[in-house]
């Protein structure tokens, strides 16, 4: 029986780790990839998600060459506007106002680099529609603090789930990692 080489998750997200555990994929190490996440001029949201997942994987693989390195990035976009991680209540308020009553897209870039340096990458897209949010609903959500550090200023797996009128695509992608696409990429790379 051959020994499975280690898997490193290149992420600081506890949600990604929890999602992987749901499908019985337990990384041997979790290492955050500290890269510059600045959007490039004329870069589309889908391109951003894919590029960042690739760069995160490459950054960690350079230090962990004898491991499988799995990286992901989630980008929430309203039209061509990227809604970053909300760090302040004012940002979350602005984002929720934009998302209220309309559809937006959540892009998930996923990259795996194998121990022999082969790169596999996938892009997942989920369309989400919020109901028309009333002022008191937005205020209540802001006071919950769930928006802190979340792309687009919301966490679908929490209170915001009650505001989702429509979803097409991967639910787990909106949480932080498409489980279907992750399993496909791990299989493609030969990770058992």
Question: Domain-by-domain residue ranges, the chain?
Answer: 7-188
Q: Which among 18, 28, 36, 73 is annotated as catalytic?
A: 73
Q: Which CATH architecture has domain 7-188?
A: Alpha-Beta Complex (3.90)
Residues 53-91: tens digit of each pLDDT: 999 999 999 999 999 999 999 999 999 899 999 999 999
**74: its two tokens:** 């989630």
Cα Rg for the chain, rounded, in angstroms? Answer: 17
- Give dist(CA 45, CA 154) in Å, integer: 18
What SS3 state is found at 55? helix
The predicted structure's pLDDT at residue 192: 84
**Model pTM?**
0.94
2 pLDDT band (50/70/90 cuts)? Answer: low
Determine the pLDDT at residue 37.
93
Asked if pLDDT for residue 1 goes beyond 80, the answer is: no
Known catalytic residue at 73: yes
């Amino acid at each position: 029986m051959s020994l499975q080489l280690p898997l490193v998750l290149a992420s600081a997200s506890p949600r990604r780790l929890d999602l992987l555990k749901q499908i019985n994929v337990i990384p041997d190490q979790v290492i955050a990839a500290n890269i510059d996440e600045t959007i490039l001029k004329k870069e589309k949201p889908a391109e951003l998600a894919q590029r960042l997942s690739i760069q995160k994987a490459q950054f960690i693989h350079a230090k962990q060459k004898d491991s499988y390195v799995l990286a992901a990035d989630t980008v929430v976009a309203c039209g061509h506007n990227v809604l970053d991680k909300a760090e302040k209540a004012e940002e979350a308020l602005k984002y929720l106002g934009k998302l209220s009553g309309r559809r937006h897209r959540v892009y998930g870039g996923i990259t795996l680099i194998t121990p022999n340096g082969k790169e596999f990458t996938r892009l997942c897209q989920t369309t989400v529609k919020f109901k028309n949010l009333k002022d008191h609903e937005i205020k209540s959500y802001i006071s919950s603090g769930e928006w802190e550090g979340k792309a687009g200023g919301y966490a679908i797996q929490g209170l915001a789930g009650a505001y989702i009128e429509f979803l097409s695509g991967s639910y787990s992608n909106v949480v932080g990692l498409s489980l279907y696409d992750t399993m496909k990429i791990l299989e493609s790379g030969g990770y058992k």
